Amino acid sequence: MSELATLLHRDAPATADYHEFQYRRVLTAPLERRGELYFAPPATFEKRVRLPVSETYRIEGETLSMAFPDRATRQISLRNQPLLGGLLLSFKAIIGGQLDSLDSTFIATVGGTADQWTLDLRPSQPDVAKYLEVIHVSGHRSEPLHFEVVERSGDRTVTEIEPR
Amino acid sequence: MSVDQTSYSSRRQWLLMATWALLLALGGYFVASTLSVDSDLRLFLPAAQSPQERILLDELKEGPGTRVLLVALSGLPAEQLATLSDQLANLLRDHPAFVRVENGTLQSDPTMQELMLRYRYLLSPRAQGCACETETLRRELDARLVELGSPAGALAEDLLLRDPSGEMQAILDSWLPAIEPQLQDGVWFSRDGQQALLFLQTAAPGFDADRQRLAITTLTEAARDLEPSGRLAVAVTGPGAFTVLLEQSVRVDVTQLGGLAGIGSVLFLLLVLRSLRHTLLGLLCLATTSLAAIVGVFLVYPSVHGITLAFGFTLLGVAMDYPVHLMLHLTRDVTARQTLSHVWPTMRLSIVTTCIAYLALILTGFTGLTQLGLFTICGLVATGMVLRWVLPRLVSPSDSRAPPAWLLAVDRLPRLPALPLVVLGAAVAALIVSPRPLWSNELAGLTPVPQSLQDLDARLRSELGAPDLRYALAIRAPNAESALQRDEALKGELEQLVATGVVGSYESPSRLLPSVLHQQQVQKGLPAADTLRSRMHDALAGSAFREDAFATFFADIEGSRTLAPLTPAALSGTGLADRLGAVLLQKPDEATALVTLSDVKDPVRLAAWAASKGNDVLLLDLKSLAESLIARYRTIALAALGFALVVIGLVMVVQLRWRATLAVLLPVLATLAATVTLLNLGGIQLTLFHVVSLILVGGLSFDYGLFFNRSEATDDGALRTRYSVMVCWISTLGAFALLMLSTMPVLQALGSTVALGVTLGFMLSLLARHAEPQAK
């Protein structure tokens, strides 16, 4: 775990493209989205959706700002949103190499080697566990490459990261 | 024998005094245990004359606006403040004293959520109640698909499928306030980022001092428990906070300043009367006057206004003058009864005329002034009775003292009978050329709240986006339903006013809750199950959604067609009821819907439009309404004062002669004019409380004039009269100078006005005193 944390640790801002597929029972085809992930130490994380629409989710400390094209930016406190917070914070923690921030929400299991590592996150809070089954993450050395969020319902979201 | 009799008599006198004191203590205990103070500003306002004024006064009294408390947390780093704001908000939400607690975090209120979900098609801002045509459905479904893909939307999959036309979001969007406070760390913050802000609504109305105090104590104690270090500063403003502050200030001032004044007057009386017995008697008189005054008000009113009480106690100082006059006139070789019969006519005239002045206050018909008048008259009448029937039995001529020798110097002061005329002329001329407006027309001028707190309140209101409610439309109807219908009928024209730039925006009550009629029309327009299924089938062609995912949507539309429409009564207990209550005022036989208008750019066209709408639509300009109320109030109060002066003048002409009347009244007029002029030159705009202070100044100067112009049989009598007037002036000056230390600006103003006024009155009456003592 600490080796992985050392691998992922970042001191400089980082940007990566992502490509996401959502497999949902209520849909006949997977939902596809593209965009970029941005991290600036110590605590800023943005998920910028580019396709099919432009949306920005920005976490600054414990505040989540959501910017949509034709609506005012909304801000909410993640303190009161364990589920949404848990999901976004897991991305933030892994992209930004701050694994210890996961402790309050997830139980983490590390596997593989430095060249081909895996990380499973299982929710520790009942609120989150009601909805979320597990998050599988895998990557190569300092680069996380693959996220798979599995919901209790069986719906899945797969995210491929393409480092720049 | 005679020695025995005297000692028996003296013992009986002490026994009488002890009994008197005991009775007063019992009465005082009774009053203190039942005393209830209120702070309803309306008691100091005239009765409403127009429907607009009635709405304004209703709002001031019990309107939801009076239940708002604004809280600012500061003194710690922003992150800590944000956490504390959340913790505090959560604690208060569970407390029954608060019906609404907002700090910027999104609230999930399950009852409200459930209600909105169930009635979403009837509450929807969309004309048809549902975007359920094939084309609109297709667009909405595309939007839902995008939302489903977003992190927040994925969590709300069930809701998205249940509400594919997006009615919930449409309703929430239409309920958003025009301006939202700035968010930082997820909670509301002031623009400078130094204060975390909360918006609270209490269960109790703003003027319920006891329950407001409970609410505020709950709040401050919860904050202290969360952050015991003492570094967290909690500021609370709003009508309820002001009520509590006023009540506390009155209590503190009455106990502390009252205590100081008490000690001061005991020392002063001892110094002047140089008799323990007479000092005790003076205090017994004062206590009797106070008790009679309070009991008099209590016999008529269930509670006393804080301002009446605070003002009233200061007026009682006047009553104290009479016993002092009597005691200073006593001489060894004359019985107390004879001395009294000598000074009594002047005292009686003074008491009667003062009572007439305060009767004028009662006749104004404003509860606050009536209480004040009643308070003073009861006190004065009690003093008169004590003076006439009790004191002569208890004072002892052998305790009398001759006036000090230096007083003869005062007697040698020149007499300037023309001085009052000169002062009067100069003061009036100065007032006429003064560029400063004489009167303050602000409703705020009547608020006994310190300016700093008023400023904080105004700043918090603007930070929290509470609209500056200057303009509103009041729609009056026999009941809530017809008021809402009329409101809906005006919607097109209101949109037109926004489109043509007359007003910036508006908020209608029917937007929170449509009329039953509107809801029924929407129900008729909702598609039947078969129609909806076939439209949905067409709309889903080529969509990624599976057709069988929308079972809950079909069931909800079908259910909505037969739901009983939502009424204001059905909302009770939800957050929506509080919001609706603020803009839909319901009484048993009428209802008023308030449409708030923000950013009014063309008041003239707005007024013309409103005037064309008929009697049931009124444009409220709250600022000018409040100002005209205050102005009318002042006119009535001044008319009463003028009436009192005329009556007093007539009484005096009957009792005295023309010349004597003028000699007494001219210095009074000059004193009043000079006081007003000096205040104006000092940059002070007069409020109603200055008028009340001036009435007191007038009454006291009048007494000085009466006594200075008394016909005295002897030089010694004349000397004693001057002495007693001087003693009365100094004690009044002392008491009111003390009042300038009060925490309440109103009482400070009263203190400085009266201290200035009585000094002018004393000097003018002394210098303009009538001819030499003349034999009767």
One DSSP character per residue, B436-499 reads: S-SB---GGGG--S-HHHHHHHHHHHHHTT-----EEEEEEESSHHHHHHHHHHTHHHHHHHHH
- Residue B576 or residue B25, greater confidence: B25
Per-residue pLDDT tens over the stretch B724-745: 889 889 888 888 888 888 777 7
Contact A26 B149 (CB under 8 A): no
Q: Cα-flanking dihedrals φ and ψ of residue B180, to 5°? A: -110, 145
B154 near A159, Cβ under 8 Å?
no
DSSP 8-state symbol, B74: E
Contact A27 B106 (CB under 8 A): no
Flag whether residue A83 sits within 8 Å of chain B, measured between CB atoms: yes
What is the residue whose two structure tokens read 């004024």? B53
Q: What is the CATH architecture of B1-34+274-402? A: Up-down Bundle (1.20)
From B126-130, B293-297, B537-541, B711-715, the region with the lowest mean pLDDT:
B711-715
A131 near A149, Cβ under 8 Å?
no
User: Which pLDDT score is estimated for B383?
Assistant: 92
All residues of chain A having their beta carbon less than 8 Å from the beta carbon of residue B155 are 83-84, 131
Distance CA B27, CA B293 (A): 12
Distance CA A138, CA A144 (A): 6
Contact B183 A75 (CB under 8 A): yes
The reported pTM is 0.67
Contact A57 B83 (CB under 8 A): no
Per-residue pLDDT tens over the stretch A92-137: 888 877 778 788 888 888 888 888 989 898 998 888 888 889 999 9
Flag whether residue A150 sits within 8 Å of chain B, measured between CB atoms: no
- Interface confidence, given as ipTM, is 0.85
- At residue B26 the predicted structure's pLDDT band, cuts being 50, 70 and 90, is very high
Whether residue B489 is predicted with pLDDT greater than 90 in this model: the reply is yes
Distance CA B219, CA B674 (A): 48
Flag whether residue A31 sits within 8 Å of chain B, measured between CB atoms: yes
Flag whether residue A62 sits within 8 Å of chain B, measured between CB atoms: yes
Shortest Cα distance, chain B CAs vs residue A80, angstroms: 8
The three-class DSSP label of residue B397 is helix
Whether residue B19 is predicted with pLDDT greater than 80 in this model: the reply is yes
All residues of chain A having their beta carbon less than 8 Å from the beta carbon of residue B83 are 79
Exposure string of A35-72, with b = 16+ CB inside 10 Å and e = fewer, is: bbbbbeeeeebbbbbeeebebbbbbbbbbbbbbbeeee
All residues of chain B having their beta carbon less than 8 Å from the beta carbon of residue A78 are 186
Please count the other Cβ atoms lying within 10 Å of the Cβ belonging to residue B437: 10
User: Which pLDDT score is estimated for B435?
Assistant: 84
Strand partners, A37: A16, A47
Flag whether residue A80 sits within 8 Å of chain B, measured between CB atoms: yes
Strand partners, A47: A37, A57
Q: What is the largest CA-CA distance in chain B?
A: 127
Instruction: Please choose, from the candidates B358, B357, B385, the residue with its C-alpha nearest in 3D space to the C-alpha of residue B371.
Output: B358
User: Which pLDDT score is estimated for B514?
Assistant: 93
Q: How many residues are present in chain B?
A: 776
Whether residue B73 is predicted with pLDDT greater than 80 in this model: the reply is yes
Q: Cα-flanking dihedrals φ and ψ of residue B185, to 5°? A: 50, 30
Can you point out the beta strands (E) in B545-589?
Answer: 584-587
Shortest Cα distance, chain B CAs vs residue A77, angstroms: 4
Single-letter amino acid code for the residue at B430: A
Q: Cα-flanking dihedrals φ and ψ of residue B592, to 5°? A: -125, 125
User: Which pLDDT score is estimated for B126?
Assistant: 84
Relative orientation angle of helices B276-300 and B2-34, to the nearest 10 degrees: 40
Domain tally, chain A: 1
User: If you average pLDDT over residues B215-227, what whole number do you get?
Assistant: 93
Domain boundaries, chain B: 1-34+274-402, 62-239+516-573, 415-456+622-776
Whether residue B523 is predicted with pLDDT greater than 60 in this model: the reply is yes
The three-class DSSP label of residue A82 is helix
- Residue B508 or residue B572, greater confidence: B508
B104 near B187, Cβ under 8 Å?
yes
User: Which pLDDT score is estimated for B214?
Assistant: 92
A161 near A37, Cβ under 8 Å?
yes
User: Which pLDDT score is estimated for B46?
Assistant: 66
Handedness of CA B142, B148, B152, B155 (dihedral sign): positive
DSSP 8-state symbol, B92: H
Whether residue B123 is predicted with pLDDT greater than 50 in this model: the reply is yes
A/B interface, count of CB pairs below 8 Å: 76
Whether residue B217 is predicted with pLDDT greater than 60 in this model: the reply is yes
Shortest Cα distance, chain A CAs vs residue B541, angstroms: 12
User: Which pLDDT score is estimated for B180?
Assistant: 66
Q: Cα-flanking dihedrals φ and ψ of residue B237, to 5°? A: -130, 180
Distance CA A63, CA B104 (A): 12
User: If you average pLDDT over residues B539-566, what whole number do you get?
Assistant: 87
Using CB atoms within 10 A of its CB, is residue B370 exposed (0-12), middle (13-18) or buried (19+)? buried
Per-residue pLDDT tens over the stretch B52-66: 777 777 776 666 667
Contact B186 A88 (CB under 8 A): no
Shortest Cα distance, chain A CAs vs residue B492, angstroms: 24
Reported for B443-447, long-range contacts at CB under 8 A and 24+ positions apart, including other chains, are B443/B626, B443/B627, B443/B629, B443/B630, B445/B630, B445/B685, B445/B687, B445/B688, B446/B41, B446/B44, B446/B45, B446/B630, B446/B687, B446/B688, B446/B689, B447/B41, B447/B242
User: Which pLDDT score is estimated for B2?
Assistant: 38
Q: Which of B161, B185, B545 sits opposite A63 (nearest CB)?
A: B185
Whether residue B4 is predicted with pLDDT greater than 70 in this model: the reply is no
- Residue A101 or residue B299, greater confidence: B299
User: Which pLDDT score is estimated for B64?
Assistant: 63
Please calculate the CA angle B249-B297-B353 and round it to the nearest 5 degrees: 105
Distance CA B353, CA B21 (A): 29
The three-class DSSP label of residue B560 is helix
Contact A24 B150 (CB under 8 A): no
Q: How far does CA B202 lie from the centroid of its chain?
A: 18
User: Which pLDDT score is estimated for B108?
Assistant: 62
Average model confidence (pLDDT) across chain B: 83
Nearest-10 Cα torsion for B135, B136, B140, B141: -30
User: Which pLDDT score is estimated for B350?
Assistant: 87
Q: Which residue of A has its CA nearest to B104?
A: A76
The three-class DSSP label of residue A119 is strand
Per-residue pLDDT tens over the stretch A40-97: 877 788 889 888 888 888 888 777 888 877 766 777 777 667 777 888 888 888 887 7
Whether the ω angle into residue A123 lies within 30 degrees of 0, i.e. cis, is no
Distance CA B744, CA B448 (A): 6
- At residue B493 the predicted structure's pLDDT band, cuts being 50, 70 and 90, is very high
Distance CA B471, CA B475 (A): 13
User: Which pLDDT score is estimated for B465?
Assistant: 63
Query: Which residues lie closer than 8 Å to B406 by C-beta, 6 or more apart?
Result: none
User: Which pLDDT score is estimated for B773?
Assistant: 43
Flag whether residue A2 sits within 8 Å of chain B, measured between CB atoms: no
* Most confident region among B190-204, B212-226, B311-325, B568-582 by mean pLDDT: B212-226
B241 near B216, Cβ under 8 Å?
yes
All residues of chain B having their beta carbon less than 8 Å from the beta carbon of residue A33 are 149
- Residue B146 or residue A17, greater confidence: A17
Instruction: Please choose, from the candidates B526, B520, B511, the residue with its C-alpha nearest in 3D space to the C-alpha of residue B566.
Output: B520
Q: Which of B83, B186, B546 sits opposite A27 (nearest CB)?
A: B546
Exposure string of B210-226, with b = 16+ CB inside 10 Å and e = fewer, is: ebbbbbbebbeebbeee
Distance CA B556, CA B207 (A): 44
Whether residue B772 is predicted with pLDDT greater than 70 in this model: the reply is no
User: Which pLDDT score is estimated for A102?
Assistant: 81
User: Which pLDDT score is estimated for B776?
Assistant: 35
Domain harbouring A93, CATH code: 2.50.20.10
Instruction: Please choose, from the candidates B302, B375, B412, the residue with its C-alpha nearest in 3D space to the C-alpha of residue B772.
Output: B412
User: If you average pLDDT over residues B351-363, what whole number do you get?
Assistant: 83
User: If you average pLDDT over residues B739-760, what whole number do you get?
Assistant: 85
The domain B415-456+622-776 is classified under which CATH number: 1.20.1640.10, 3.20.20.70, 3.40.30.10, 1.10.3470.10? Answer: 1.20.1640.10
Whether residue B714 is predicted with pLDDT greater than 70 in this model: the reply is yes
Contact B185 A61 (CB under 8 A): yes
Whether the ω angle into residue A52 lies within 30 degrees of 0, i.e. cis, is yes
Q: Cα-flanking dihedrals φ and ψ of residue A40, to 5°? A: -125, 120
DSSP per-residue letters across B30-51: HHHHH--EE--GGGGSPPP-SH
User: If you average pLDDT over residues B413-430, what whole number do you get?
Assistant: 90
- Residue B112 or residue B235, greater confidence: B235
All residues of chain A having their beta carbon less than 8 Å from the beta carbon of residue B104 are 77
Question: Residue A10's domain spans which residues?
Answer: 2-163
Strand partners, B184: B187
Q: Which residue of B has its CA nearest to A31?
A: B149
Shortest Cα distance, chain A CAs vs residue B82, angstroms: 9
Query: Which residues lie closer than 8 Å to B593 by C-beta, 6 or more apart?
Result: B474, B475, B477, B480, B483, B484, B486, B487, B508, B509, B510, B583, B584
Distance CA B642, CA B695 (A): 10
Distance CA B182, CA B103 (A): 11
User: Which pLDDT score is estimated for B429?
Assistant: 93
- Region class of A112: left (phi > 0), else alpha (psi between -120 and 50), else beta: left
Shortest Cα distance, chain A CAs vs residue B131, angstroms: 19
From B74-88, B256-270, B719-733, B746-760, the region with the lowest mean pLDDT:
B256-270
- Region class of B534: left (phi > 0), else alpha (psi between -120 and 50), else beta: alpha
Contact B544 A31 (CB under 8 A): yes
User: Which pLDDT score is estimated for B451?
Assistant: 76
The three-class DSSP label of residue B431 is helix
Whether residue B3 is predicted with pLDDT greater than 50 in this model: the reply is no
User: Which pLDDT score is estimated for B774?
Assistant: 42
- At residue B72 the predicted structure's pLDDT band, cuts being 50, 70 and 90, is very high
Shortest Cα distance, chain B CAs vs residue A59, angstroms: 10
Shortest Cα distance, chain A CAs vs residue B690, angstroms: 50
Query: Which residues lie closer than 8 Å to A18 by C-beta, 6 or more apart?
Result: A34, A35, A36, A37, A159, A160, A161, A162
Using CB atoms within 10 A of its CB, is residue B587 exposed (0-12), middle (13-18) or buried (19+)? exposed
Which of 91-130 (A) contact B at CB < 8 A?
Answer: none
- At residue B551 the predicted structure's pLDDT band, cuts being 50, 70 and 90, is confident
Whether residue B521 is predicted with pLDDT greater than 70 in this model: the reply is yes
